[in-house]
């Protein structure tokens, strides 16, 4: 009998990847994607624990689900099976089981492959240990692409222990998948429609593994091997740590045309004092040196970053150092957050927590600068010709949205069959969050475009 499942993901791209894999493990049990959450036979909440607001969302969603369950019971409908997965499940699994009796299943990010067994066992079940190698072995050979752009997790977990971050506790220690498994999954993704693959890892550039030639590969070498697979037009990777940007990876940006000229490289702060308190293990100057090397290798590379303001002990001067680093670098886009104390992390117990009002003021100033840089970057694209991989329809009829090599959203008007295709467009307008382009006729020489 077919049943339907609705999987709702919060947080990062790794969770998006995990959501597709959860769908893959449930498919053999007869579960197909549900039209809507409330009509589904099973609901999976794939949660995020990175900041305070992220896990508040779980409890408010569970509250809403309780009302839906009551409505269903009132009209004689069966209760939905409710599963909580992801990083809140990992960190607070027992508490969820206790606080939310309508939750049937709790699985952590390294144990969701066990869902079918837990469901067959019946009753309320929790599994939150870290059998990461077992998970990838269980999932191997199942991946299918849901569109032209696919995620592929190559590395998971983190051994860096930045003092603000829960990831080492929720995702566990660093684990790299073997190169042969990654290449096999990439082939499957291409065979099922992917043209772009984004390699994922909490510390993706710490990936290393035995290559087909018996030598230990790092990410740069893996990218060379992936670029040789037929059908891969675009490669990306995220999220990286500045300390792991080795020369082989930087040279891949010079040598591999499929590797898109865009890099998300979180720096968190521009103050050496705060970077040390954060245990980032590099200084601002080290970051700027990496950026120089990347720009020497690939002059048009566009950069993105993550910033935290209001880390314990941060002063106005530290915050100015962050603004200076932003001005010195020039970002095409960025994410910035107010520090939020996460239970169990070293920074949560540091003295000198910054007042909420100061955090807000610093965030506003930083975001104004980052927004101005993003607008300038988008406006500088006007007049350029670039490719865009079409991901979905736009809001207006006949409009499509694709991604430029630099991760900008490009809106174009075009015929009905553009989904998943790569078009070439000349950019006519640059706005804060998107570009408007005009499609050029097919046959425009790709070599001209790449050189442009």
Interface residues with ligand SF4 (CB under 6 A) are: 158, 160-162, 165, 167-168, 202-203, 241
268 vs 408 by CB, closer to ligand 5AD: 268
The distance of closest approach from Cβ of residue 51 to ligand 5AD in the complex, given in angstroms and rounded to an integer, is 5
149 vs 202 by CB, closer to ligand SF4: 202
What's the rounded Cα separation, in Å, for the pair 14 and 20?
10
15 vs 80 by CB, closer to ligand 5AD: 15
Give the residue ranges of DSSP H helices in 27-142: 52-74, 86-99, 115-121, 132-139
Give yes or no for residue 339 binding ligand 5AD (CB under 6 A). yes
Give yes or no for residue 51 binding ligand 5AD (CB under 6 A). yes
203 binds, among ligand 5AD, ligand SF4, none (CB under 5 to 8 A by kind): ligand SF4
The distance of closest approach from Cβ of residue 156 to ligand SF4 in the complex, given in angstroms and rounded to an integer, is 10
160 vs 384 by CB, closer to ligand 5AD: 160
Please choose, out of 15-23, 219-227, 333-341, 352-360, the segment that lies near ligand 5AD by the rule CB under 6 A. Answer: 333-341
The distance of closest approach from Cβ of residue 340 to ligand 5AD in the complex, given in angstroms and rounded to an integer, is 4
Contact 238, 198 (CB under 8 A): yes
Give yes or no for residue 163 binding ligand 5AD (CB under 6 A). no
Contact 441, 426 (CB under 8 A): no
- Tell me how many residues contact ligand 5AD (CB under 6 A): 12
Contact 307, 284 (CB under 8 A): no
- Residue 305 region by backbone torsions, left for phi larger than 0, else alpha for psi between -120 and 50, else beta: beta
CB atoms within 10 A of CB 99: 11
What's the rounded Cα separation, in Å, for the pair 374 and 340?
25
315-320 long-range contacts, Cβ below 8 Å, gap at least 24?
A: 317/271, 318/269, 318/271, 318/273, 318/274, 319/271, 319/362, 319/365, 319/366
The distance of closest approach from Cβ of residue 114 to ligand 5AD in the complex, given in angstroms and rounded to an integer, is 27
Contact 290, 297 (CB under 8 A): no
User: What is the contact mask toward ligand 5AD in residues 307 to 326, using x (rule: CB under 6 A)?
Assistant: -x------------------
Q: What angle do CA 127, 128, 131 make, to 5 degrees?
A: 95
339 vs 400 by CB, closer to ligand SF4: 339
The distance of closest approach from Cβ of residue 127 to ligand SF4 in the complex, given in angstroms and rounded to an integer, is 23
Give yes or no for residue 334 binding ligand 5AD (CB under 6 A). no
Q: Which residues contribute to the site for ligand 5AD (CB under 6 A)?
A: 50-51, 164-165, 266, 268, 306, 308, 337, 339-340, 342
């Amino acid at each position: 009998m077919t049943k339907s499942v609705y999987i709702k993901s919060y947080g990062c791209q790794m969770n998006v990847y995990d959501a597709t894999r959860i769908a893959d493990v449930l498919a053999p049990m007869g579960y197909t994607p549900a039209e809507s959450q409330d009509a589904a036979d099973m609901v999976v909440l794939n949660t995020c624990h990175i900041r305070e607001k992220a896990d508040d969302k779980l409890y408010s969603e569970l509250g809403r689900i309780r009302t839906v369950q009551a409505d269903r019971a009132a009209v004689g409908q069966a209760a939905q099976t409710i599963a909580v997965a992801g990083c809140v499940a990992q960190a607070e699994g027992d508490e969820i089981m206790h606080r939310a009796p309508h939750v049937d299943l709790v699985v952590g990010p390294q144990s969701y492959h066990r869902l079918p067994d837990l469901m067959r066992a019946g009753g309320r079940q929790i599994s939150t240990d870290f059998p990461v190698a077992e998970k990838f072995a269980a999932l191997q050979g199942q991946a299918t692409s849901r569109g032209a752009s696919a995620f592929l997790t190559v590395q998971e977990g983190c051994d860096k222990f930045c003092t603000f971050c829960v990831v080492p506790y929720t995702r566990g220690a660093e684990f790299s998948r073997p190169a042969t498994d990654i290449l096999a999954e990439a082939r499957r993704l291409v065979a099922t429609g992917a043209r772009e693959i984004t390699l994922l890892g909490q510390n993706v550039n710490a990936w290393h593994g035995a290559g087909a030639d018996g030598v230990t590969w790092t990410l740069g070498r893996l990218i060379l091997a992936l670029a040789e697979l037929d059908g891969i037009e675009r490669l990306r990777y995220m999220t990286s740590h500045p300390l792991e940007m080795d020369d082989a990876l930087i040279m891949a940006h010079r040598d591999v045309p499929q590797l898109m000229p865009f890099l998300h490289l979180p720096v968190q702060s521009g103050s050496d004092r705060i970077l040390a308190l954060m245990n980032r293990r590099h200084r601002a100057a080290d970051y700027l040196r990496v950026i120089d090397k990347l720009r020497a290798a690939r002059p048009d590379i566009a950069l993105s970053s993550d910033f935290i303001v209001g880390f314990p002990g941060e002063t106005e001067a530290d915050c100015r150092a962050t603004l200076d680093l932003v001005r010195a670098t020039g970002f095409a886009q960025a994410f910035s957050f107010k520090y939020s104390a996460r239970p169990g992390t070293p920074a949560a117990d540091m003295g000198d927590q910054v007042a909420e009002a100061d955090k807000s003021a610093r965030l506003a100033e930083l975001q104004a600068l980052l927004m101005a840089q993003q607008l300038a970057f988008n406006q500088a694209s006007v007049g350029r010709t670039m490719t865009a991989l079409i991901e979905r329809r736009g809001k207006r009829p006949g409009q499509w949205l694709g991604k430029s090599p630099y991760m900008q959203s490009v809106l174009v008007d075009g015929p009905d069959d553009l989904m998943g295709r790569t078009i070439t467009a000349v950019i006519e307008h640059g706005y804060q969050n998107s570009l408007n382009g005009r499609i050029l006729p097919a046959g425009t020489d790709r070599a001209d475009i790449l050189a442009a």
